[in-house]
A and B are shown apart, each in its own frame.
Chain A
Amino acid sequence: MYLGKVIGTVVCTMKNPVLEGKKILVVQPLDPQGRPSGKPVIALDSVGAGAGETIYWCRGREASFAWYPAEVPTEATIVAIVDRVNVKEKATTDKHR
């Protein structure tokens, strides 16, 4: 699982019926210090994350287990909203803001 930050939203009218009612967000992956790492990804939201929030997300087949036993075609899902990250080498960062 990876840390990330919600940086945008995607709107689709025509979509696979299984995706109806699910929020699609643009996520910028972050490293533990809160710096952007890598390209933005498109992720489904299972927890009600909002703009600018630090979240963690999982990728791969496991991403669809957030809606188990429903089979949702997603390979990236936001599974939690991060309150705080404690990293031993560095000082505690609050919400990466």
Chain B
Amino acid sequence: MLLARVVGTVVATRKDPRLEGKKLLVVKTVSPDGKDDGNYLVAVDTVDAGFRETVLIVQGSSARMAVECKDRPVDTAIIGVVDTVHLDDEKAVAASARK
């Protein structure tokens, strides 16, 4: 699972019928200390996330286990809106994130 920030929306008229009614958002992955990773993903929103919020995303076949995503063609889902991230040792993370 990854942390990401919502940076935009996707509108698609023609799509798989099982995606109808699903909100698609563009998210940019971030490291736990809040720095941008630079990867963009399109994710299905299951928790009513909003613009610029930090969210928890799940990728791969596990994404289909989220409520509202069962048996749908989904491989990235937003499953939580992050309130806070607490790090025990900020320096250790900052160092590893730079690798």
Interface set of A (CB-CB < 8 Å, partner B): 6-19, 24, 26, 28, 36, 38-44, 51-52, 60-61, 63-64, 71-76
Contacts and interface: CB of A to CB of B under 8 A. Distances in A.
Contacts of A10: 3, 32, 56, 80, 82, 84-86
Given A39-B31, A42-B2, A24 B80 contact: yes
Contact of B83 (A7, A13, A38, A40): A13
Interface residues of B, number: 41
B14 interface: no
A36 B96 contact: yes
A7 B82 contact: no
Contact of A12 (B77, B83, B89, B96): B83
Contacts, number: 126
Contacts of A7: 32, 87-89, 92-93
B2 A18 contact: no
B71 to A, nearest CB: 11
Given A7-B92, A11-B83, A75-B60, 19 more contacts: A7-B89, A8-B85, A10-B32, A10-B82, A10-B84, A12-B83, A16-B46, A17-B67, A18-B65, A19-B80, A26-B32, A36-B92, A36-B95, A39-B31, A40-B97, A42-B3, A42-B32, A60-B62, A73-B58
B16 interface: no
A40 B85 contact: no
Interface in B1-48: 1-3, 31-32, 37, 46-48
